[in-house]
Chain A
Amino acid sequence: MDEVIRVRDLWWRYELGQEWALKGIDLTVRRGEFLVIVGPSGAGKSTLCLTLCGMIPHFSRGHYKGEVMINGHETRKMKLSEITRKVGIVFQDPDTQFVTMSVEDEVAFPLENHGVPREEMLERVRRTMEMTRILELKDKYPNELSGGQKQRVAIASILALEPEIIILDEPTSDLDPVGKSEVFSMLAELKRTGRTIILVEHNTEEAAKYADRVILLRDGKIVMEGPPRKVFQEVESIKSAGVYPPQVTELAYHLSTRYGVRGELPITLEECLEWLRKINARITTPIKFGPSPRRANGESIISLRDASYSYPDGTAALRDINIEFARGEFAAIIGQNGSGKTTLVKHIVGLLKPSVGEVRIFGKKTSEMSIKEIATKVGYIYQNPDHQLFCQTVYEECAYGLRNLGVPETEIRRRVGEILEKVGLQGLENVDTFLLGKGQRQRLAIASTLVMNPEIIIVDEPTTGQDMVQSTSIMELLRSLHAEGRTIIIVTHNMRLVAEYAERVVVMHAGRVILDGDVRAVFSQVEKLRGALITPPQITQLGQLLSGDSVTPLTVEEAADMIRLGDE
């Protein structure tokens, strides 16, 4: 394969940045290669993508050293429009990159910009929509599609220009498991057509299946590079860099360490099954998992009875919901994009009232309570902290809710101090909220809700777009709050987090609750989950495959404990 991109000693610092975002990057990408970039938040992954597609330095101001060559031409000396013909980029949030109001127009937009004759354009738009399986969506409004469909439209609109290189910056971070698979399977198809794909991704399990090469970026430098098989062998190193290795690799690493097994670790589910067979692994019977997580047995504090809700445009978002949550539970609500998860929690916090049926909080109907009254009992943390932070400083942000409740200033000072310490933001009281990093903003959003001392805490997608270290830190915070006796409800697409932290799972599909119960029990309902387009964590799937669906491990540690070697 000949090289299509060559990066030599590339340095970049944003105009207002104090530090170099990229520090001497050297990288060669070959034609037809599938390259995956992993790394913690702030490592420079998105910045590197922007340099590869010419946005830096053409469209961003800053200090630039070194060179990026596309097919032997230096991007600095090329026109941006010339680069966009060769390199297409898809950003993380598809909603903000749609320029038009129909799928068909969106795919045609780049072709119009490049002056492609109409007859040719008609053919290319049709061909691209067919290839990306969006032809039946052509008249739809892109912003109203499901997450997976949106990303397919975003990719199609770049693909119509037939670029040689396609860059995707975390395209699956907001998607449900099926949406993620849709995107990955489409990328695999594109690779078969000979295109070069560069993908920034947190999901190493999918990357392991498709990537030819992985680079680990940290602090603006490439710290590890090679085929996924080589990079993911370094389990401890990549974990210390804030990246989750594939769960099966982690399991094999545990077993290798425990039993002294030598050789290459598997990186995919299929490889792991084969590896376990080769090392003569077997499942212990009877299987004893560690103690079950503490189950709530308190009184019911949230209840929805025959609750249905339709949005003003007629979309039925909740259908006949009957569900209760008890004091002290740690529950996760899961389901594909658009299944009604967020609508359900908006009913609990009182932002929406059911069209039919009733919602009660601590026995009282929400229709008879003010949101202010509900807010003293239920805290709701948004997926995007930017929607929840509106004060000038960290201190003011935390004090806001307390002032509305009429708490005296001395008490406010005490409570804000305590809460900032709890979320690790002490000492930042006077810092401007909008200057905080994404992880810190998310923790501030939690703190600003928590300071009001609600008994129930609802968090919508607590870890989207966060790396392993940040995700773990947020989830551990929620776990400690749960240990204090608070009721925690999370809405998430991250099945790994559900398995590791939640006690109970509620699965939603098309506005209905289709499964509800203990995490292990729910994840063992393979067929029903498939019907809801949910895929359990990789380690759970492995356990089920090994045991013929009779065992459902939730964590790597549990899976390691259920496996023995030889006659042991």
Chain B
Amino acid sequence: MSRRTFFSYVPSESPLVGLHPLPKVALLLAINLVALIIEAPIPFILLIAFIAIGFKLLRVPLIGIKKFVIVVIIASQAVLISYLLGSSIPGKHVYIIYPWGTYVSEMTLLYAATMIMRYTTMLLGSTLILVTTSDRDIVYGAAALKLPYTLSLMMSLAFRTATIFAEDFMKVRDAMILRGASFHEGPPLERAKKYANVFTSMIVIALRRLMDVAYAVQAKGFGAAPKRTYYREYRLRISDAVITALLIASVLSAYFLKYSVGILAFPGWMPAI
């Protein structure tokens, strides 16, 4: 039987299903941390390829990624525009100099491409979290790390309500479309204004939902006992411990390679003067 995750289902034959929550959470944290450490483009491409292969091997349904393609495209456009129009990164060749003083060099393009890859990696990493984990993984993974339960409950509720908010978002957007709004037409400022309207409504809905959730959590005796007990029992096997150790080692290695060896650092970049 497939396992429900925050955003999707993972088939029962996925290696993720048998994994202890600790290495699962560690895997997801590792991907996102490494993405934060890396600056150079080639390692990014390798990391993206690694995640893509991971999706395939772990049999994660690719429908989960589909939802985020549009986000990646929008984020990439925003990054590209901001670098092209608003940065002054020195390079060997300067292609355009704007009247307001910024310019475009080959390093500008390289840096923009790198940032796009960083966002893509992090978005893929976040997607991987939402499509492969459930609240149980977060809660029991955090418990294995001896993190406070309140923190893991907050995290799991935040992820879970994110899916509910996504549905609310679609409903409000549909309601606007049914009253003649078009999100694909008009200048960017006007389109942004339309989304602002969606968010006005979303804030009210979110506040009402949060209040309801808060009441429900309290009604179920949250924090009643000084020491919380757990319904499920997960045993950490040697293989789980080895995977977790390898993941921690990979983050540490990435840190070492960037700051001590300089391999993962962005080549030739210097702050704009």
Interface residues of A (CB under 8 A from B): 50, 53, 55, 58-59, 80-82, 84-85, 88-89, 91, 93, 95-102, 104-105, 108-118, 121-122, 125, 139, 141, 143-144, 157-158, 161, 312-313, 349, 351, 371-372, 375-376, 379-380, 382, 386-392, 400-401, 404-405, 434, 448-449, 452
CA distance A85 to B225 in the complex (A): 11
CA distance A462 to B128 in the complex (A): 40
CA distance A110 to B225 in the complex (A): 10
Shortest Cβ distance from residue B213 to the other chain A in the assembled complex, whole angstroms: 6
Q: A404 and B179 in contact (CB under 8 A), knowing A85-B221, A96-B212, A121-B229?
A: yes
Q: Which of B175, B204, B233 has its CB near the most chain A CB atoms (within 10 A)?
A: B175
Beta-carbon nearest neighbor of A400 in chain B: B179
Q: A97 and B216 in contact (CB under 8 A), knowing A382-B171, A400-B179, A449-B179?
A: yes
Shortest Cβ distance from residue B262 to the other chain A in the assembled complex, whole angstroms: 44
Which residues does chain B contribute within 8 Å of A448, judged by CB atoms?
A: 179
Interface residues of B (CB under 8 A from A): 1, 4, 6, 9, 63, 134-136, 153, 156-157, 160, 164, 168, 171-172, 174-182, 197-198, 200-201, 204-205, 208-209, 212-233
Q: A387 and B172 in contact (CB under 8 A), knowing A99-B157, A102-B136, A449-B179?
A: yes
Q: List 21 A-B contacts (CB under 8 A).
A: A55-B215, A84-B221, A84-B224, A96-B216, A97-B215, A99-B135, A99-B216, A101-B136, A105-B136, A113-B220, A115-B225, A118-B230, A118-B233, A121-B231, A144-B4, A158-B219, A161-B220, A375-B177, A375-B180, A388-B172, A448-B179
Indicate which residue in A97, A139, A157, A391 contacts B213 across the interface (CB closer than 8 Å).
Answer: A97
Shortest Cβ distance from residue A60 to the other chain B in the assembled complex, whole angstroms: 9
Which residues does chain A contribute within 8 Å of B205, judged by CB atoms?
A: 386-387
Flag if B197 contacts A113 (CB, 8 Å): no
Shortest Cβ distance from residue B74 to the other chain A in the assembled complex, whole angstroms: 21
Flag if B213 contacts A390 (CB, 8 Å): no
Flag if B218 contacts A80 (CB, 8 Å): yes
Which residues does chain B contribute within 8 Å of A388, judged by CB atoms?
A: 172, 175
Shortest Cβ distance from residue A465 to the other chain B in the assembled complex, whole angstroms: 13
Which residues does chain B contribute within 8 Å of A97, judged by CB atoms?
A: 212-213, 215-216, 219
Shortest Cβ distance from residue B29 to the other chain A in the assembled complex, whole angstroms: 20
CA distance A391 to B212 in the complex (A): 23
Shortest Cβ distance from residue A204 to the other chain B in the assembled complex, whole angstroms: 26
Indicate which residue in A88, A95, A390 contacts B219 across the interface (CB closer than 8 Å).
Answer: A88
Which residues does chain B contribute within 8 Å of A95, judged by CB atoms?
A: 164
Flag if A100 contacts B178 (CB, 8 Å): no
Shortest Cβ distance from residue A323 to the other chain B in the assembled complex, whole angstroms: 21
Q: A100 and B136 in contact (CB under 8 A), knowing A81-B224, A115-B224?
A: yes
Q: Which of B63, B134, B201, B214 has its CB near the most chain A CB atoms (within 10 A)?
A: B201
